[in-house]
Amino acid sequence: MALLQISEPGMATAAHQHRLAAGIDLGTTNSLVASVRSGQANTFADAQGRHLLPSVVHYQAAAAPIVGYAAKAAMTTDPLNTIASAKRLMGRGVEDVKQLGGHLPYHFVTGGSAVPRIQTADGVVSAVEVSADILRVLKLRAEDTLGGDLAGVVITVPAYFDDAQRQATKDAAKLAGLNVFRLLNEPTAAAVAYGLDQKAEGVIAVYDLGGGTFDISILRLHKGVFEVLATGGDSALGGDDFDHVIAEWLLQEAGLVGSSDRIILRTAMVAARNAKEALTEAETAPVELGEWQGELTRSHMGELIAPLVKKTLMACRRTLRDANLDKEAIQDVVMVGGSTRVLAVRDQVASFFGKPPLVNIDPDRVVAIGAAIQADVLAGNKPDSDMLLLDVIPLSLGLEMMGGLVEKIIPRNTTIPVARAQEFTTFKDGQTAMSIHVLQGERETVETCRSLARFSLREIPPMVAGAARIRVTFQVDADGLLSVTAQEQTTGVSAGVEVKPSYGLNDNEIETMLRDSMAHAREDMEARRLREQQVEADRSIEALEAALQADGDVLLTAEERTALLIARDQLVHLRQGTDHRAIEAGIKALEKAAESYVERRMNASIRAAMAGHRVDEFKE
């Protein structure tokens, strides 16, 4: 007979209608699948009892792709047909890959597609297809373990994943035949795994130290609702760096410093890693390299890696500042990632935050477990559960304004889902179209932000400059996908885009953009002022010329007209310079020169409006 599981009271399903759900941690190095059975969330093992699935796919001619440990073994024998770390390519464009190119051994196919494609013995594959092959194996494992088809899954993504990367993840799931309930940020999943969502209030730090990356996220729980306040980290710092410093010490002790023998270097790395892992349990670990034998103590290793751990804590401090919080505000610290098994890391994190971090769930599995718990809720297996998880957008989203300035519509760290609208107007008389350029970034000018999409709103009824009202709405859904619409308010004519950017940013680039925005804050502010004054100058000149053409001959004497044209030429000249104060003065001078002309025009138009009417018609 079928094997049964225990449901929550009153939540048992009819036969053949089990709402089977799973959580998937689709990682750069390893992936996992987990599910809740009989009230307990567990990761699932393969037939050999291994829970981790290496995120590696080996493609061979006319054969099904091999995924996992066997594929990982093929990395050395058949590197060109064995794709690892496909997650780094998700949602990326060909241009991005050129930058990463040096590190990737694959044959990229050029042309014909916006997404990078890799030539393998089994044909051309994209990162989405590689990820789909990994997801297929996890799906099969979950369905074999649960004894039925999956109703849906929750897949975790890094908090810094942008729209394109999230969309690519969803595409991969679709390709693998999975129904995605939703994507969930990795730190949020880790907090859920510890049941921190069951508390009423609190601020939580999620410290995620993997093999090659470090992420810190600050979450706030408010009335049972999760919100990601800020994220930060270092995309080039992880447990592999610990191995490096330990290996360097080994080489020094063994008198082999400066050796270029690859075998010795590799042996040193392996010895370093083994010693590091042994020191989680033991106080001392024996080490040997070549002829040399010695031992490494736990406290000595702590000293060796201390500068690296300190770097992670500096990132914690920056992220806390981003979230506008003191470290005393943090109530719980969740540890994620295999490198948090190192006791020196736990100790330093504990002393930084002033409290012991949560470590009792396997840090490699904690994200998948949280995803499984969330999937169980979304599948409808929990009674009246109202767990709603909120995330934030990593970089501000905005629009290009006249003069190449960026107007931010949704500031960074805004929780999603979110919709924000702002009204804009036309710049020129009779303007019937408006080009809308969507940008992402923290700086003030278009060149320093990343372009996400462009579209045009046409058929705006011709009006004088500034009269049209165009409402632009930015909407970011729960998965972090952006859509932008523009609507002219009098006619209702509208246009919009779903933003699936041709390529995205990695966390390194996001961090660089953030750092730049701080480093260039002053010059950006100056640039913004200059552009604003230039736009203002253009507007004044434009308006004056339009007026002169309309009634300049009627209302002005020749001398007055000449004086105005001199003031205008002066402003045109100043506008070409870079002194925003001078331009501002020029605008003021032109306005002053035009004062009486403006007055006369106003009187003339009132006269025209009242012509043919009696005065008492204008009385209330």
Partner 1 sequence: MITMTPTAADRVTKFLANRGKGVGLRLGVKTTGCSGMAYVMEFVDEVQEGDTVFESQGVKVIVDPKALVYLDGTEVDYAKEGLNEGFKFTNPNESARCGCGESFSV
Query: Is 6 an interacting residue with respect to partner 1 (CB under 8 A)?
Result: yes
Judge contact between 465 and 426, C-beta under 8 A: yes
Active site residue 87: yes
Active site residue 25: yes
Query: Is 450 an interacting residue with respect to partner 1 (CB under 8 A)?
Result: no
Least Å from the CB of residue 3 to partner 1: 3
Phi/psi of residue 302, nearest 5 degrees? -55, -40
Judge contact between 412 and 371, C-beta under 8 A: no
Helix, strand, or coil here: 114? coil
Distance CA 99, CA 517 (A): 22
Q: Which residues pair with 117 in a beta bridge?
A: 109, 126
Helix (H) or strand (E) holding 214: strand 214-222
Least Å from the CB of residue 191 to partner 1: 18
Polymer length of the chain: 620
Distance CA 116, CA 108 (A): 7
Angstrom distances, CA of residue 181 to CA of 121, 142, 152, 394: 34, 16, 6, 22
Q: Which of 25, 96, 215, 507 is catalytic?
A: 25
Burial class (CB in 10 A: 0-12, 13-18, 19+), 598: middle
Pick the piece of the chain touching partner 1 (CB under 8 A) from 11-19, 184-192, 255-263, 360-368: 11-19
Judge contact between 497 and 438, C-beta under 8 A: yes
> CB-based contacts of 160: which residues, under 8 Å, 6+ apart?
215, 231, 394, 505, 506, 507, 510
Query: Is 599 an interacting residue with respect to partner 1 (CB under 8 A)?
Result: no
Least Å from the CB of residue 141 to partner 1: 7
For partner 1, the binding residues in 22-61 under the rule CB under 8 A are: 37-40, 44-47
Distance CA 541, CA 547 (A): 10
Q: Which of 129, 133, 208, 400 is catalytic?
A: 208
Q: Which of 96, 162, 163, 186 is catalytic?
A: 186
* Selected binder of partner 1 within 79, 101, 105, 147 (CB under 8 A): 147
Query: Is 200 an interacting residue with respect to partner 1 (CB under 8 A)?
Result: no
Q: Which residues pair with 201 in a beta bridge?
A: 222
Pick the piece of the chain touching partner 1 (CB under 8 A) from 8-16, 114-122, 221-229, 518-526: 8-16
Distance CA 443, CA 522 (A): 11
* Selected binder of partner 1 within 71, 89, 125, 146 (CB under 8 A): 146
Report cis status (omega within 30 of 0) of the bond before 417. Answer: yes
Distance CA 126, CA 141 (A): 23
Nearer to partner 1, 151 or 410 (CB): 151
Write each residue from 556 to 595 as x if it is in contact with partner 1 (CB under 8 A), else as -, in one continuous string: ----------------------------------------
Query: Is 145 an interacting residue with respect to partner 1 (CB under 8 A)?
Result: yes
Distance CA 620, CA 616 (A): 8
User: How many residues bind partner 1, per CB under 8 A?
Assistant: 29
Query: Is 4 an interacting residue with respect to partner 1 (CB under 8 A)?
Result: yes
Pick the piece of the chain touching partner 1 (CB under 8 A) from 12-20, 214-222, 561-569, 601-609: 12-20
Active site residue 174: no
Active site residue 507: no
Nearer to partner 1, 36 or 184 (CB): 36
Nearer to partner 1, 196 or 555 (CB): 196
Query: Is 15 an interacting residue with respect to partner 1 (CB under 8 A)?
Result: yes
* Selected binder of partner 1 within 50, 79, 80, 144 (CB under 8 A): 144
Nearer to partner 1, 141 or 528 (CB): 141
R_g over Cα of the chain: 31
Q: Residue-wise over 298-310: b if at least 16 C-beta within 10 A, else e?
A: beebbebbeebbe
Write each residue from 366 to 395 as x if it is in contact with partner 1 (CB under 8 A), else as -, in one continuous string: ------------------------------
Nearer to partner 1, 2 or 61 (CB): 2
Catalytic residues: 25, 87, 186, 208
- Residues of this chain that interact with partner 1 (CB under 8 A) are 1-12, 14-17, 37-40, 44-47, 141, 144-147
